[in-house]
Structure 1
Amino acid sequence: MFGILLAQQWKQARRSPVFQKSVVVNIILGFLILYFSLIFISLGFFADKVLLKLYPAQSVVDSLNSFLLHYFLIDLFMRFMLQDLPVVTVQPYLHLPVSRSKLVHFALLRSLPSMFNLLMLLLFVPFMLRVVTPAHGSGIAGVWLASLLLLTFFNNFLLIYFKRQLVSKPKRTLLFGLAVAGLFLLDYSSVLSLRQISRVAFGSLLQQPWLVSVPAALLAIAYWLNFRFLRDNLYPEEISIKKVSSVAGGDIAFLNRFGDTGRLIALELKLIWRHKRPRSIIVMSALMLFYGMIFYTNEKYQEGYGMLIFVGIFVTGSPMFNYGQFIPGWQSNHYDALLTRPISTYQYLHAKYWMFAPAVLLAFILTLPYVFFGYKILLINLAACLFNIGVNSFMIFYFAVFNKDRLDLSSGSAFNWQGVGASKFVMMLPMILLPILLYLPFSFLDLPEWGIFAIGLAGLLGIAFHKHLLALTTRRFVSHKYKLASGFRQG
């Protein structure tokens, strides 16, 4: 039965018109996979030499074991960002004598041959053959590799479960993400040493091979959670009932008091909540708030202002940049209908602007803890927040007329190049370079604080004259609206 299901899924994918259209993309991805595979194999072969130079007083196996817990936590994060959920079209099989359990098992096992699981083997199999086997024997080395493989599969099913819970029970996924982030924070503040725990845990596995039952049990629990959830939500009737109950009371009373602008914002929020791609964009924007940790913890970036301005613009504007770069593509599926509605282009852009402004302000508020790295960062992020609201939002509207590609809102954002073009990169350049150009003259005069003030002042002026700037961008939109409609029809 599994062979029949696999053959039918392959035929469905191969006969799909999307498969034919994405041949070039698949070839490019194939070369990228080959390139990274060679890199991981090389890392596996030469990891012992690197670890020996870094930790000469410690055995190579112990050094690697001390980083395995970090590896699996990073693997969880990367899977959350990039791994797609395994999907099987079950409707054609529900009237056939095929048990629900077999369909669920097939959907879960389909997720195992993924790139994340393959990279683990490419990295650790060479290391096992080169280092672990000569030091501990082939039997112990096999148990060590088996435990790593079981933990990799555990990560696979654990992320599938929590990503499915993201829609129905988002609090569980949020708590899980906070727990993972908390581990990194405790390790960074030296309250809890993940390296020491990892070294002891995987070192004990080499001394007592029966401990491989622990990752096996974790894998069984994660698999059972996924199996139970999918089995209970397999029938379309059950899924539709849950969807209806979640949509009840969808009108946002708070926004209705703002008239047409509030109702348009409410519709936009519903679009984000009900579709996969905009929802994943918002999740990615939230994760990008931690981008500052890369720079703020490095003392060499604290000396100047230029890099901190870039980070401030990027961190406070991440929700606006990530979501705004596809305007008006989010409405591409019904753009013709939008043109026939009694909604002016000014109202459309006005609603977008007042959706961006609170999002940027919220991002700034969430970055306030960065003040512990210095009050200079707080001032820079405040100026960047004002600049994003008052200037960069209108730059997004200006370049939005080049977004003529239809978007599939049901697909995720990972490795999704639909709607991504040269205009996106052209749009980002002035939004990042302009505040730095405003700062440079004051930097040459040794007045860096005045440069930060100039960036904030430019944002305040944009906010003060936002109605005039909206009118200018509206005229540009109106002159291109039929080109946009034509491009969306061809998509």
Structure 2
Amino acid sequence: MFKHFIRLQWKSFFRSSSFGKGIALKILMIFFGIYMLTTLVATGAGMYFILRKLAPDVNPMWLISQYFVYWILIELFLRYFMQKLPVMDIKPFLSYPIKKSAITHYILGRSAVSIYNLLAIFFFVPFAIVLIFKGYPAVNVLFWVVSIFAIVLCVNYVNFIVNKSDKALLVIGGIIVALYAMDYFALLPVKAFFGPIFHGLYAYPITVLVPMALAILVYWINYKYLRNRIFLDASLKAKSQEANTSDLAWTRRFGDIAPFLRLDLKLIWRNKRTKAQVFISLLFVFYGLIFYTQEVYANMMPMYAFLGIFMTGIFLANFGQFIPAWDSAYYGMMMSQNIPLRKYLESKAGLIAVSVVVMFLLTIPYVYFGWKALAVNFGSALYNLGVNIPVILYFGSFNKKRIELDKSPFGNMQGTSGTQFLIMLPVLGLPILIFTVIYYLISIEAAVIVLSVLGIVGFAFRNYFLDKITEQYRKRKYGMIAGFKEKNS
């Protein structure tokens, strides 16, 4: 029966109406996947030597075991966005004498060999082979690899349980941040606590039974959940849904742009791809820790400018570059109504401005690394508010690629065109270039002042810029509507 299911899925893939249209993209993704797997194999094979060089006096197996808890939590966090739940059109099979258990086992079994599970194998197997050649006990290493694969399966099936819960995502993200903070500030020896636990999977081969038992348990929970929901008349049952009484009444204080602002906030929160932009932006607040904590970057002021523009403007870039493509599904309807286009653009600018302010406030703790970090972030935030917001809105008038909001947010190239690559030059490259030139010619204080003044000037001419941008949107309105109507673009 499994062979029959596989054959049907294979035919469904090649007979899909979108297969021919996306063949070039599929070939490109195949080459990209091969490159990624090759990189993982090379990294896994070289990890032993990398760890030896970083810590000559520490056993590489012990060192890598200390970070296993972070790997598990981060992979579970990323899979929430990246991994699609195993879906199969099962209704045609329910009218035939096919056991529901067979269908359920096939759905769960197919997910076990997904590319996300194979990534860990392509990394850890080469690492294990090097360990064996370096004299590590082969039996211990082999059982350790089995334990790793069992843990990967646990993460795979736990993701199916928590994938529909935003609260679970916040809890996982909070645990990652809390553990790293306690470890970094020496409040709790996280690595010292979890290191012996995961090292025991190598030191005591019998412990392989623990992750295997957990994988079987999580599989069984998923099996029971899916098995009890496979019915032909499931879609005929009346659906009861708790009413959401949140009408975002607080947005009324923003006047004429309030209706558009409410739509944007609902759009962001109700769709995975837009919601992913919010979580990614919040995660990139910690991006500065990679550079501020390294002495090699301590005197590289242009890097400070990059961090300031990037961290305070990450949502501006991720969300703003696809304006108005986020509304592509109903953009034609909006443009046929008596809707003031200027107010529509003002609401987008207001939403992005709030994100820049929030991101700057979240970067204030970086003053711990010196006043220069705070000053550059402040100047960068002003530049983003006054200059980059009008720039991002202007480039949005060239967007004509449709975005389907119900698609997976990762590996999704919908809405992407040459505009998204060109826009990085004025948004990210120009302020860094201005800062670098002024810094080397005068001083860092002068560079921060120049960025700040440019932002303030942008505020002063805000209405003028919005008038020009609105006129640009009117000129390109019909071309944008026609482009948004084309699906699979």
- Residue 40 of structure 1 corresponds to which residue in structure 2? 40
Q: Which amino acid aligns with 1:245?
A: E
User: How far is the alpha carbon of 1:328 from its aligned partner?
Assistant: 1.2
Deviations 1:49-90 (A, max 9, x none): 444444444445444444544544443454345333333334
- Residue 313 of structure 2 corresponds to which residue in structure 1? 317
Q: Which amino acid aligns with 1:141?
A: V
Deviations 1:168-225 (A, max 9, x none): xx22221121112222222323344454445422443344322112212332444355
TM-score w.r.t. length of structure 2: 0.89
Q: Which amino acid aligns with 2:239?
A: I
Residue in structure 2 matching 1:369, options 325, 349, 365: 365
User: How far is the alpha carbon of 1:141 from its aligned partner?
Assistant: 3.0
- Residue 154 of structure 1 corresponds to which residue in structure 2? 154
**Whole-Å Cα distance in 2 between the matches of residues 260 and 193 of structure 1?**
53
User: How far is the alpha carbon of 1:228 from its aligned partner?
Assistant: 5.4
Contact 2:74 2:176 survives alignment (8 Å)? no
The reply to whether residue 245 of structure 1 matches residue 227 of structure 2 is no
Contact 1:233 1:239 survives alignment (8 Å)? no
Matches within 5 A, 1:11-410: 11-93=11-93, 102-132=102-132, 135=135, 137-165=137-165, 170-227=166-223, 230=226, 237=235, 241=239, 244-246=241-243, 248-410=244-406
Gaps of 5+ in 1: none
**Whole-Å Cα distance in 1 between the matches of residues 361 and 272 of structure 2?**
26
Cα 1:187–1:28 change in 2 (3 A) is same
TM-score w.r.t. length of structure 1: 0.89
The reply to whether residue 5 of structure 1 matches residue 5 of structure 2 is yes
368-377 or 193-202, which moves further after superposition?
193-202
- Residue 417 of structure 2 corresponds to which residue in structure 1? 421
Q: Which has the higher helix share?
A: 1
User: How far is the alpha carbon of 1:458 from its aligned partner?
Assistant: 1.9
Cα 1:8–1:317 change in 2 (3 A) is same
**Whole-Å Cα distance in 1 between the matches of residues 476 and 43 of structure 2?**
51
Q: Which amino acid aligns with 1:114?
A: S
Cα 1:386–1:201 change in 2 (3 A) is same
Cα 1:442–1:36 change in 2 (3 A) is closer
Contact 2:394 2:472 survives alignment (8 Å)? yes
**Whole-Å Cα distance in 2 between the matches of residues 229 and 451 of structure 1?**
59
**Whole-Å Cα distance in 1 between the matches of residues 314 and 210 of structure 2?**
40
Q: Which amino acid aligns with 2:289?
A: M
SS of 1:88's equivalent in the other structure is coil
Residue in structure 1 matching 2:443, options 434, 438, 447: 447
Contact 1:396 1:427 survives alignment (8 Å)? yes
Cα 1:199–1:268 change in 2 (3 A) is closer
Cα 1:151–1:400 change in 2 (3 A) is same
Contact 1:280 1:412 survives alignment (8 Å)? no
SS of 1:380's equivalent in the other structure is helix
**Whole-Å Cα distance in 2 between the matches of residues 389 and 228 of structure 1?**
51
- Residue 482 of structure 2 corresponds to which residue in structure 1? 486
The sequence identity of aligned pairs, in percent, is 33
Cα 1:292–1:233 change in 2 (3 A) is farther
- Residue 457 of structure 2 corresponds to which residue in structure 1? 461
**Whole-Å Cα distance in 1 between the matches of residues 237 and 137 of structure 2?**
51
Cα 1:448–1:138 change in 2 (3 A) is closer
**Whole-Å Cα distance in 2 between the matches of residues 403 and 7 of structure 1?**
40
**Whole-Å Cα distance in 2 between the matches of residues 283 and 227 of structure 1?**
30
SS of 2:408's equivalent in the other structure is coil
**Whole-Å Cα distance in 2 between the matches of residues 449 and 370 of structure 1?**
18
Q: Which amino acid aligns with 2:6?
A: L
Cα 1:91–1:466 change in 2 (3 A) is farther
**Whole-Å Cα distance in 2 between the matches of residues 171 and 10 of structure 1?**
36
**Whole-Å Cα distance in 2 between the matches of residues 288 and 465 of structure 1?**
30
User: How far is the alpha carbon of 1:232 from its aligned partner?
Assistant: 6.6
Q: Which amino acid aligns with 1:307?
A: M
Cα 1:273–1:101 change in 2 (3 A) is farther
User: How far is the alpha carbon of 1:30 from its aligned partner?
Assistant: 1.6
Cα 1:206–1:314 change in 2 (3 A) is closer
**Whole-Å Cα distance in 2 between the matches of residues 239 and 388 of structure 1?**
50
Contact 2:385 2:455 survives alignment (8 Å)? yes
Q: Which amino acid aligns with 1:161?
A: I
User: How far is the alpha carbon of 1:473 from its aligned partner?
Assistant: 0.5
User: How far is the alpha carbon of 1:386 from its aligned partner?
Assistant: 1.9
User: How far is the alpha carbon of 1:250 from its aligned partner?
Assistant: 4.9
**Whole-Å Cα distance in 2 between the matches of residues 411 and 240 of structure 1?**
26
User: How far is the alpha carbon of 1:462 from its aligned partner?
Assistant: 2.0
